[in-house]
Chain A
Amino acid sequence: MDRVRDLASKKAAVIFTKSSCCMCHSIKQLFYELGASPAVHEIDKDSYGREMEWALRTLGCNPSVPAVFIGGNFVGSSKDVISLHVDGTLKQMLMDAKAIWF
């Protein structure tokens, strides 16, 4: 959990993924389209990967990846991100976190 929190606070937009996960790929693409440059951490390539996955699950992220943090706060998994994106909230959050400027 500490590692997760630590990594999440390092950048305005942080996404935890797995290299094999294609949905993660989608969310990444979404962020790129928005103009954000999120920090991407592949937990299956991380030595603490298993603990991180467990930590993400305890946060309520199911499936555990992709897990999105904006401004150090846990936003959710793909479903939450898409929902927030549709009603414009995601963009606002990114702007607030200074991940994007317009």
Chain B
Amino acid sequence: MGSRARTVNVSSTGDSNNVVNGMPSYAPPPPMPSSSSSMGIDATNVLPSRISEFGNLEQSLGFRVEDAINLSRNPLFNQLQLKSNSQALGADVQFGALSKSIANSDINISAAIAGSQTLSLQKDSQPNLASTSAGHRENWGESNMADASPRTDTSTDDTEDKNQMPERGESSERSKDKADQKTLRRLAQNREAARKSRLRKKAYVQQLESSRLKLTQLEQELQRARQQGIFISSSGDQTHSMSGNGAMAFDVEYARWLEEHNRQTNELRAAINSHAGDIELRTIVDNFMTQFDDIFRLKGIAAKADVFHILSGMWKTPAERCFMWIGGFRSSELLKLLVNQLEPLTEQQLMGIYNLQQSSQQAEDALSQGMDALQQSLAETLANGAPNPSGSSGNVANYMGQMAMAMGKLGTLEGFLRQADNLRQQTLQQMLRILTTRQSARALLAISDYFSRLRALSSLWLARPRE
């Protein structure tokens, strides 16, 4: 704020103009040329009349503020008041016009004046208006802050506040204008807050909707998958989950087993390459064998549900499937591959491996012959009793009997698969008994690598470019 007392020297034109104090916030020069012209004041009289306008303005404002402000502290104002009274009497028309223009047009100015006056007064003391308006402002500030939280119906409270506050302290137009301005600002803020709140709500609801949609989709997928017998629950009870289609469930289990198998193979490889000790190798080898036990067990369970799926080898890669024997690998073949890689072998070990190879070969032959016998027997059962075209009821009975017998024979397939797996398992275990720990580790690694290469071959074959 500018200094309070600013004396403007007026060249006297004969009017006994009062000594005008420069308005604290006012630069003397021409804020009211328009009003001057509107009032038809003579150009020659501009300066004095302007000053008189100032003075009148001050007077009018002083009149208004008088109720609230204790002007006794300001001697200058009192002087003005005294002078303005006489002045007012003398220049009625001017004053009226001026006051009207002031009242009508320059709300800002009056508010500014009021504001500045109150502020400057505040500097000196704590007048009522200052404190009330400050308090008022505080309140408004508070409710402004409160508005930031998602409340949309604060406008009524605030307007009530605003209505009360002026009544409490002021009845002057100036503070009413101030109140209006603040009210408008508050309303705008409220609207803004409400808008933001609505937007937030909308976004949240949209998010909820999309999540719900996704949830229903997932549920449907789950339902479909359950129907196909896929392993949904992670509990260890496998017999329950093998409902419906056991084939798919087994495929999933096999994939999981393969992953674990590959991991253990890498571990084995790392141990061998790093020349690990016998104890460590033994542990790894034992874990490896446990893994094999696992897959044989899984195959057994799956065979109970769907023996043809296992026997068909659809769960293996094409190359593996081609050289499959009764649902798995041929032990004798494996041993033939290993002998070369396991050197050096002692005489005893060589004999042992050779004998093992021969035994497994014999067992394989025996089981193969049993399978052949089964197929032949089945064929005979189905072929026998070709239906008589005359179609007597006896034939139907025959047919039913045939089917029953055939069904019985098919049931033995599971037994063959079980014995074939048993042979594979026994051969591996016997092999480990003949070999040392280190040799066993290398043997298992060789077997693992062989099968993984066979699987890779299948992939390559499937992906090969065709002409």
Contacts and interface: CB of A to CB of B under 8 A. Distances in A.
A26 B423 contact: no
Contacts of A20: 377, 408-409
Interface of B: 355-356, 359-360, 362-363, 365-367, 369-371, 373-374, 377, 408-409, 412, 415-416, 418-419, 422-423, 426-427, 430, 433
B412 A23 contact: yes
B419 A85 contact: no
Contacts, number: 71
A82 B415 contact: no
A86 B419 contact: no
A30 B366 CA distance: 5
Contact of B371 (A21, A22, A78, A79): A22
A25, A27, A82, A88 pick with most chain B CB within 10 angstroms = A82
Interface residues of A, number: 21
A88 B416 CA distance: 21
Contacts of A21: 412
A33 interface: yes
A22 B374 contact: yes
Q: Say what secondary structure dominates the interface of chain B.
A: helix
A26 B422 contact: no
B350 to A, nearest CB: 15
Nearest to A86: B426
B422 A85 contact: no
Given A83-B426, A87-B430, A23 B370 contact: yes
B362 A25 contact: no
A34 interface: yes
6 shortest interchain CB distances as A-B pairs: A26-B370, A30-B366, A22-B374, A86-B426, A29-B366, A25-B373
Given A23-B412, A86-B427, A88-B359, 13 more contacts: A21-B412, A22-B377, A22-B412, A23-B415, A25-B373, A26-B373, A27-B366, A29-B369, A63-B415, A82-B419, A82-B422, A83-B422, A86-B426
7 contacts: A22-B374, A22-B416, A25-B369, A26-B416, A33-B366, A79-B419, A82-B423
B163 to A, nearest CB: 98
Contacts of A85: 359, 362-363
A23 B415 CA distance: 8
B311 to A, nearest CB: 14
A30 B371 contact: no
A78 B365 contact: no
A33 to B, nearest CB: 5
Given A20-B377, A33-B365, A88-B359, A79 B422 contact: yes
Contacts of A26: 366-367, 369-371, 373, 416, 419
